[in-house]
Amino acid sequence: MGKAKHYIAVTVLVILATLFLRFFILGPIYRLPNAASAQAVPIDIMFSAHFWLISFLFALIMVIMLYSVFVFRRKQGDDEMGPYIHGNTGLEVAWTIIPTMIVIGFGVWGAVVLNELTAPNPQEMTIRVWGQQWAWLFEYPEQEGITTPELVLPVNQPVVLEMESRDVLHSFWIPEFRVKQDLLPGRKTYLRITPTEVGDYKVRCAEICGLQHSVMLADVRVVDQSEFVAWVDERTAAPAYADLTPVERGEIWYTEFGCNACHSLDDTVQVGPSWQGIYNRQVELEDGSTVTVDDAYIRESIINPNHQIVAGFLPNLMPQDFETRMADKEAEIQSTQGTDIDIIDDIIAFMQTLE
Amino acid sequence: MKTLGIIFNSAYVRGLVGQAIFMFAGIGLVGGIRNALGLPPNVEPGVVLGAILGVIGFLLFAGVLTDWLKWIVGKKTPLRHGGPEGKPHWARYLNVDVNHKVIGIQYGYTSIFVLLVGGLFALIFRLELAQPGLQLLDNRTYNTLFSAHGIIMIASILLGVGAMINYLVPLMIGASDMAFPRLNAFSYWVGVPAVVLILAGMVVGGWDTGWVGYPPLTFRAPLGVVLFLMGFYLNGLSSIASSINLLVTVSFMRAPGMSLFRMPIFVWAAVATSLIQFTATQTVGVALTLNVMERVAGLTFFDPTAGGDPILYQHLFWFYSHPVVYVFVLPGLGIISELLPVFSRKPLFGYKWIALSSLGIAFVGFLVWAHHMFTSGMNDVLRIPFMMATMFVAIPTGVKFFSWIATMWEGKLSFETPMLFVLGAISVFLIGGVTGPILGTIPTDLHLHDSYWVVGHFHATMFGGFIFPFFAAIYYWFPKITGRMYKESLGKLHFWLMVPGFWVMSLGQMQVGLMGMRRRISDYDPALGVQNTQVLITIAALVIGWSVLIMVYNLVSSARSKEIAATNPWGSRSPEWQIPYPVPEFNYEVPFEVVGDPYDYGLVGSEYIHMQGAPAPTGD
């Protein structure tokens, strides 16, 4: 009878503590961002189950521990030993078998949901995602190869992101969409998302990728179908490159090649020198000599970034493949539009306007 | 004046001088050769050679290699025992010594010192994170500080584990010392230049790869990354050497009658830990070596543009770096199991289950490494078996928790500082434990991976599994080590600051993680709505920092007190508490025989050990 009292008290307290933890302690902690993708639905159900499990397990152990602390404390002057109980095989087996069942259950559930999250959908639209130190670029092969630094998605359209890095590892994460996938150089990785809520979000790089990792963000706009069509029309119409001035083209290249990740257009100094007022300025180099930022220096610095580093900045940060990437782009424009352009000339023209 | 002389002539100072000389010699040598060959100046190969030579220089000048070098040329050298001649007793702790108790204490204070350094780094970047925007640090410094915090704390934990194992295991099993005393000294001393290399890496440009050092980022990181990788490597070397020593000691040097299931439970934990260290560390050694070779010598293993595979590195790295978290926590969990029966006056509930659960954790720990790579892009079919294996870690861990609360149940509990830290450890490790499965199931992990949830979970397991039990062990064995009692009031103050501080910090980290805060960022988007919690986390971290300083003050001031503590203040049955302070050079002047079970508190007339020559038990 004396022992039964303890067991009843503990059972009641565990139930109460589970509820208390779940609603009053974990309540304020368990604050997932709004669920904005179809993938978030099964994931959030799983989150909910996990938070009940967390509440119960924490309550179970803590209640018994604190109950012992308050009820079984040693009285002043009591130097007797406690009861000689050194184990109970039945209990040991029980608390081995029951958790095994629970974790197998969760494992199987996790596998089923994962399968659902990664299954290809026949209606899905492919978008290519490029990560580079510290910028994102999105390419729409099904929309005439639009390339843009912001990700625009039509609502309720299943999308497969075909992702690749240009340099180090990055990771694609939009917290509202719940799912995450790393980007690797030289190998494609895939992530499937179906946005369900119109709105503005951000891609946040989740894998440490060097100096400016914290600010490797990209805007995401989920829009309705008609707005997406309008956006595509506008973007596909735009790059008739022959009709644009070099300055306008230079501004496109500034974001398309990710220059914006390191070179600001106002006077803030990020990883590289700001472009504001840089054209024709005298700058001091690492070796103490000075050089004028003229067309030749700019061309050299894009093709061969480590060659003449401005004092106070670091080598090895700027990608060294711009020559080939720009040549590829020029060849593509030549073959599709028959227009001969020089991307570096455009960028120089753009820089000249930044006073 | 004499004091200063001893300090300047200590192995630490001599070693550092040797390291500096050899390091610069290495840099100069490579520089000279490159110059003679007309190669362009490049400091990095010189730094690599300098780092390797520097470690040899440290060991030579400190005197770690002296005996072995003499053996090579055919001179016999006896093991030198006892304190230094003509010098005060404390000088012993500043020099190379082969006694396991001295080495244990050297591990201990070095661990606490390195812990304070790593903690200071954390507090600096925690202050930065209190507000959005960059106020105190730039990105470069921030990245270096968080990267160094990780690896420095790992070094501290490995040293702390070494402290507990070295000091306690020979005493607990009735051995006169470790099996290989010189190797034991080597294991400790090689860890010192390792820490120096890591700190030097922060000075020569720092690095921004975190403690994981994933390629290809390591190939683009500043020079500091090379020194970090090499310091990390040396920590591994220290681990392997000490694990061999421990396994041999426990296998062959136990007191008569001490069968495997009559060993103190901490010894089981030490064995499980050493098995992991002995078998897993080589893999990270390979990973780090290839990483350095690729960066410095241009061999390609991981760079995809040259045919390498960056995911290969992650597999090699985590094959060690997951099991090693059990190296960090198993000794701590052993301390919890060791102390609970003493303060509950009741046998340890399910001794064999607890002992085998340590081996179970060590075994399952080898099968789960790829859960660190659930979003990495590794082959999809690997994800599900690794998810299953990961979930199974919960089972042996659960056995420990249930056995602990069953040990306390109906006991006669008292709450001196060590017991408080044990209870704190259980509560904090429980936070770490219950927040694990949600990372184990892949769908929920896809949201939480690389978020602050992971930071919260990991810190809870490290604090619950190492920091709290380590502090419990320090308070508990302090009277055995120094012969003095620590100040109970300060011990309790330390506890009551640190426990709530840690809960706030850990739960806060988990909350901001759920809300979308990524790990390893110097600045966050105010739109996430995490700012108030960030302030709370920073305040909590400062409270934890101050509480640890209180402990340091308590230990230092109590050690200098005149009053000698009681021989067995806790009423423990463990052998080391049956002999008075100071413990003799070779531990037990009369060997003991094990005649009973270690935790039979409450069994009238029972005895764990019988000192030979002592009268038979009288029955009370």
* Shortest Cα distance, chain B CAs vs residue A47, angstroms: 6
In the predicted structure, residue A1 carries a pLDDT above the cut 70: no
Nearest CA in chain A to B524: A214
User: CB of B306 within 8 Å of any CB in chain A?
Assistant: no
Residue B97: which region, alpha, beta or left (left: phi > 0; alpha: psi -120 to 50)? beta
Q: Quick one: CATH architecture of A241-352?
A: Orthogonal Bundle (1.10)
User: What mean pLDDT comes out for the span A288-308?
Assistant: 87
Domain locations in chain B as residue ranges: 1-75, 98-578
| Cβ contact A275:A264 at 8 Å | yes
Q: If you average pLDDT over every residue of chain A, what do you get?
A: 91
Which two structure tokens, joined as six digits, stand for A172? 């694609």
Give the domain A125-237 fold: Immunoglobulin-like (2.60.40)
* Shortest Cα distance, chain B CAs vs residue A244, angstroms: 35
Q: DSSP per residue over B127-155, as a string? A: HHHTSSS-SS--HHHHHHHHHHHHHHHHH
User: CB of A65 within 8 Å of any CB in chain B?
Assistant: yes
CB atoms within 10 A of CB B545: 18
Residue B600: predicted pLDDT: 92
How far, in Å, are A198, A274, A299, B289 from residue A323 at the CA level? 39, 21, 10, 33
Within its chain, how far is the Cα of A11 from the centroid?
Answer: 43
Q: Which of A153-157, B376-380, B465-469, B607-611 has the lowest mean pLDDT?
A: B376-380
* Shortest Cα distance, chain B CAs vs residue A51, angstroms: 8
State how beta strands A282-284 and A135-140 pair: unpaired
How far apart, in whole angstroms, are the C-alpha atoms of residue B48 and residue B531? 42
In the predicted structure, residue A319 carries a pLDDT above the cut 90: no
Residue B619: predicted pLDDT: 43
- Per residue in A143-168, pLDDT (tens digit) is 988 889 999 999 999 999 999 999 99
Q: Please state the ipTM of this predicted complex.
A: 0.91
| Cβ contact B174:B587 at 8 Å | yes
User: CB of A119 within 8 Å of any CB in chain B?
Assistant: no
| Cβ contact A195:A221 at 8 Å | no
Query: Shortest CA distance to A153 belongs to which of A115, A187, A201, A111?
Result: A201
| Cβ contact B440:B382 at 8 Å | no
Residues of chain A above pLDDT 90, percent:
57
| Cβ contact B395:A99 at 8 Å | yes
- Per residue in B332-366, pLDDT (tens digit) is 999 999 999 999 999 999 999 999 999 999 999 99
Identify the three-state secondary structure at position B307.
coil
User: What mean pLDDT comes out for the span A284-309?
Assistant: 87
Query: Shortest CA distance to B390 belongs to which of B469, B459, B462, B457?
Result: B457
How far apart, in whole angstroms, are the C-alpha atoms of residue A336 and residue B4? 80
Domain locations in chain A as residue ranges: 1-65+101-119, 125-237, 241-352
Contacts of B461 (CB under 8 A, 6+ apart): B325, B329, B429, B432, B433, B436
| Cβ contact A108:A46 at 8 Å | no
* Shortest Cα distance, chain A CAs vs residue B181, angstroms: 37
**Would you place residue A237 in the very low, low, confident or very high pLDDT band (cuts 50, 70, 90)?**
confident
Contact (CB<8Å) B220/A53: no
Burial of B439 (0-12, 13-18, 19+ CB in 10 A): buried
**Would you place residue A228 in the very low, low, confident or very high pLDDT band (cuts 50, 70, 90)?**
very high
Q: Provide the chain B residues 55-84 that lie in CB contact (below 8 A) with chain A.
A: none
**Would you place residue B1 in the very low, low, confident or very high pLDDT band (cuts 50, 70, 90)?**
low
- Per residue in B553-595, pLDDT (tens digit) is 999 999 999 889 999 999 999 999 999 988 999 999 888 999 9
Residues of chain B above pLDDT 90, percent:
87
Identify which of B311, B442, B515 has the shortest CB distance to residue A110: B442
User: What mean pLDDT comes out for the span B173-180?
Assistant: 95
Contact (CB<8Å) B351/A86: yes
- Give residue B363's identity as a one-letter amino acid code: F
In the predicted structure, residue A173 carries a pLDDT above the cut 70: yes
* Orientation of helix A40-71 relative to helix A2-20, angle to 10°: 140
- Per residue in B425-445, pLDDT (tens digit) is 999 999 999 999 999 999 999
Residue A27: predicted pLDDT: 84
Contacts of A141 (CB under 8 A, 6+ apart): A126, A127, A128
Return the HEC string of B518-536.
ECCCCCCCHHHCCHHHHHH
Identify which of A42, A95, A171 has the shortest CB distance to residue B398: A95
- The CATH homologous superfamily of the domain defined by B98-578: Cytochrome c oxidase-like, subunit I domain (1.20.210.10)
**Greatest extent of chain B over all pairs of C-alpha atoms, in Å:** 85
- Per residue in B413-430, pLDDT (tens digit) is 999 999 999 999 999 999
Contacts of B555 (CB under 8 A, 6+ apart): B474, B478, B486
In the predicted structure, residue B449 carries a pLDDT above the cut 80: yes
Q: Provide the chain A residues 123-142 that lie in CB contact (below 8 A) with chain B.
A: 133
| Cβ contact B595:B610 at 8 Å | yes
Residue A244: predicted pLDDT: 85
User: CB of A35 within 8 Å of any CB in chain B?
Assistant: no
| Cβ contact A65:B408 at 8 Å | yes
**Would you place residue A236 in the very low, low, confident or very high pLDDT band (cuts 50, 70, 90)?**
confident
**Would you place residue B620 in the very low, low, confident or very high pLDDT band (cuts 50, 70, 90)?**
very low
CA atoms lying within 13 Å on the CB side of residue B368? 25
CA angle A20, A24, A25 (to 5 degrees): 95
